[in-house]
Every structure is written in structure tokens, then in C-alpha cells.
Amino acid sequence: MSSKEFSFELLTQDDDARLGKIKTPRGSIETPAFMPVGTQGTIKGIFIDDILKTKSEIILGNTYHLLLRPGIDNLNKFGGLHNFMNWQKPILTDSGGYQIMSLSKLNKIDVKIGAIFKSHLDGKKIILSPEKSIQAQKAINSDIMMVLDECPKLTRDKKIISSAIDTSTKWAKRCKIEFGNNKSKALFGIAQGGLYKDLRVESINKLLEIDFDGYAIGGLAVGEKQIDMFRILNETTKFLPKNKPRYLMGVGTPSDILGAVKEGIDMFDCVLPTRSGRTGLAFTWEGKLNLKNSKFKNDNTPLDKECDIRDLNKYSKSYLNHLIKSEEMLAPMLISLHNIYFYQQFMREIRKNIKKGTFGNFYKKYIKFFN
């Protein structure tokens, strides 16, 4: 297969945990992979060069937010988001489906049209149809595009979930047609179904009939218990093709990722590393550290003595505690960068242990560690 085409290779498995490689014209992605979230064309508070130094191989952008600003016309002038934000590795774009849920008070769904938004910026009417979502993602020039879907809020009402599956399936077909035949890019379907195995399997089977380059699991990490998320993954990943990547959207904590890898998931994204960094929370091999805590006032050790990106290993926890207490903007910048670095380090250890056949031991050691 040409290096100019999108492809996925499953290299090995350790029970259900999978080691693989996604290939795109903009570079390869080792899986399991974590994607830092750059919703509006930036990983909040972190320079792009530093994101590269964390060995991140792909980032995520958001179609809805980029559609509003800087806007499609501006992105077209730059040839897409890569040039606009100075990131030349792969980009995956969320279709805007999550905003249908998160901004539900500002939109309504018309199955025939799509989602009709009242812009949260200026109140302007925005129509996000399946076709418009794909057109916008093409303007962004993303390497992996997502279908527009309806992601319902956490509910036990099967009628609501079934309706969302029907809407999402219809929109997925329209997205596939609009996407066309472009082997250098990928289009992923998104399975819904809430916490019900039968509805999840129904959604997956409908997506398999359409045939996508990869399959995402949506509608999780929306407030359910972790044990329920793991149960659904355990019950349904076996229905997904082995030879295509599997993406769990919006996940999550290190233990969320670890448990999902155990069930056969390949790709993850979450705002948690940077959002936590902005509140003084660091993820480390010592566990989660709330650097606001006064116990760090006199702690002269760094978060990670091995991390020399931006000389992070020269900044003590005491200094970070001081910056937080002084409300200095450098604090969230340094902690956010550290957290992205840690997440990528964590993913490398996961991949290393799958390759060695020792993932089970790694899982047992760390599954409760970050809770």
C-alpha cells in the first residue's frame, strides 16, 4: 500500500490489548495513541514545538468551533489547519456532534437538515448538516474525519437512544457520500447505544454496512460509572473489525485509558491533561498531585526528573506551588505541558508492555493508581 494512503496495521495482541500502527501521508501513529485536544487550533497554554517534543503524533481539532472562528474561508487561505497553527503531523477532527449534546440549549435537531445552532458567540444561526460537517473538515484538511452524529445525554430511555442511533445512521450515510473516495484521508463512523449491549451492537452493525476506515465509540464518558464504560467496551468491541482502528471518544483519565486498552481500544482524546494543568493538578508516576496543597510548599523535587522539555525537571514542586498561589500564568503552562508529556510517556509504557506480553501486570499495577 502506498505511503500516500491511510492504513492501519495490527501488529500484535496481548489478550485483547492491541498494538498497532496507523499510517497517513503526514506520518505514522503508534497505537494505543493519545491525542492532545486542540479544540480551537491550539493545545491550551502550550507551544506547538513543545507538543512535538512530548512525542505526540496526532492532535484533535473541533469542526464546530473552527467553523465559527477562524472560519472556513480563512482556513482555506492557509490550505487548512496544519499550516494555520504550524502543526504538520496528522490531525483528527471531531465533527461537531459532541456540541449537539454539550450545547443542547443552543440547537435543535432536524433529521433531514442536521443540527441548527444558535452560535454561542454572537447568536447567529448556524446549520451544521452532515454534508456541511464534512465540507468543513475538508477545509480544515484533517487527516481523520468523523461523521456527524447525535450523541444523547446519559439516559436509560431506550427510545431516546434508539432515535439517536437512527439519526446517526442516516447522517453517517450522508457523510460517507460527501466524503467521497479519498484514500489519503480517513472517515470514521461513530457507534452509539448508551449502556445497552443490544443497541450498541445494532449501531455497530449499521455502521459496518456503510463501511468506514475506522470506528469510534461515542456516548461514553458522559457521566456513567467507569465500571459501566468498561462493561460496554467488553461486550461490544468484539463486534468491531480487527483490521481497523477503534477510537473511544473523550477519554480520559489514565485509568480510563488503561481499562479501555484492556478491552481493545486503540485511540483516545481528552482535555483532561490541560484542563487539570490549569487547576494545578499534575499526573505523575507518584499518582495525581494537587500542587495547590500546602504540603508541596517546601518540596524541592521536580514532577519528573527525566523531563527536560522547557527545563521542566529544573522546576520544583515548591516553585509550582508558589506560582499557583501567586496566580502566575506560568503555572498552568508548565503543569499542562508536564501532563501532556506524562500522558505520552504513559502510552509508550502501555505499548511497550503489550509488545512484551506483560500488559496484564502493568494493568494490575496502575488501574487503581490514578483514581
Which residues are known catalytic residues?
A: 94, 269
What are 30's three cell numbers? Answer: 503508534
Pick the closest to residue 240 from 197, 183, 201 (CA basis).
201
What are 176's three cell numbers? Answer: 460517507
What is the maximum alpha-carbon separation in the chain?
A: 61
What are 340's three cell numbers? Answer: 501532556
Beta carbons of 359 and 15 less than 8 angstroms apart: yes
What are 149's three cell numbers? Answer: 452524529
Say whether the peptide bond before residue 20 is cis (omega within 30 degrees of 0): no
The contacts of residue 159 (CB under 8 Å, 6+ apart) are: none
The rounded distance, in Å, linking the Cα atoms of 61 and 41 is: 6
The rounded distance, in Å, linking the Cα atoms of 205 and 211 is: 10
∠ Cα 29 254 151 (to 5°): 75
Pick the closest to residue 266 from 13, 9, 11, 20 (CA basis).
20
The rounded distance, in Å, linking the Cα atoms of 191 and 225 is: 19
